[in-house]
Structure 1
Amino acid sequence: MSKHVLVVDDEPNIVLSLEFLLEQAGFTVTTTDNGEDALAAAREQRPDVVLLDIMLPGTDGYEICQTLRDDPELAEVPVIMLTARGREIDREKGISLGADDYIVKPFSTSEVVERVRRIAGEGG
């Protein structure tokens, strides 16, 4: 059974490329473009990994990460933050809120796929 990845980003080109590459790598992918839908999808589908943008309409990625960590049923779901915020203080904030990894945009899509594989426990 393939691992399930929830991609949360409001940039359609990023979502399309990540969805395509992750599916090619054998993952099942669900996408959302805002925080409220991301939380609903996470609760409904229990993904194996969440790829999470920080700057989203409505609820930002930091708040989503914190909400996931506070939910006993989702607290263990790995979160990889994808963001244009590359300052060390932003990275530290993401990690302190419970993100398992932090990738700065622009990023190599193949690197993202490899990190998802590693975090999902599929080697690499």
Structure 2
Amino acid sequence: MEKKVAVLEDDQDIRELVEFILSEAGFEVISYDRVARFWAGLRKAKPDLFLLDIMLPDGNGLDICKKLRSAQDTANIPIVVMSAAYDDVGSECVGSEFLKKPFNVSDLISRVQRLISEVGKKNR
């Protein structure tokens, strides 16, 4: 069974690149370009990992991260926050990892694989 990754990225080129990279690595990718669509999608199915842009035209990825961490059904799902404008998210989004844009393709894949694997080990 493919692991699901939810991607929230407003830049179409980056979103399509991430979709391609992760799909080729064996993940099912569900992508969103707007915050409202992201929340609507989560009502239907929960992913195994979130990949969130910080700077969005209709919201802030750090606020979304905090909301995901505070909700019981998403609190333990790994989050990778990505941005070109920030150097780190530090404690702004507890339990998340930061990926600086532009990112290395192999770094993206290895982080996603590692984080999903770690959650799988905890749930055994």
Q: Are residues 1:100 and 2:100 paired?
A: no
More strand by share: 2
List per-residue Cα deviations over 1:5-36 (Å, max 9, x = no partner): 00110111111111011111110000001222
**Number of positions where the alignment pairs a residue of Structure 1 with one of Structure 2:** 118
* Counterpart Cα distance in 1 of 2:33 and 2:56: 7
1:1-124 alignment runs, 5 A limit: 1-88=1-88, 91-92=89-90, 95-121=91-117
What root-mean-square deviation, in Å, do the aligned CA atoms of Structure 1 and Structure 2 show?
A: 1.5
| Range moving further from structure 2, 110-119 or 31-40 | 31-40
Q: Secondary structure at the match of 2:56?
A: coil
Instruction: Give 1:99 shift.
Output: 4.4
* Counterpart Cα distance in 2 of 1:27 and 1:101: 19
Structure 1 unpaired stretches of 5+: none
Percent identity over paired residues: 35
Q: Which runs of 4+ in 1 moved over 3 A?
A: none
Q: Secondary structure at the match of 1:121?
A: helix
TM-score by length of 2: 0.87
* Counterpart Cα distance in 1 of 2:76 and 2:43: 13
TM-score by length of 1: 0.87
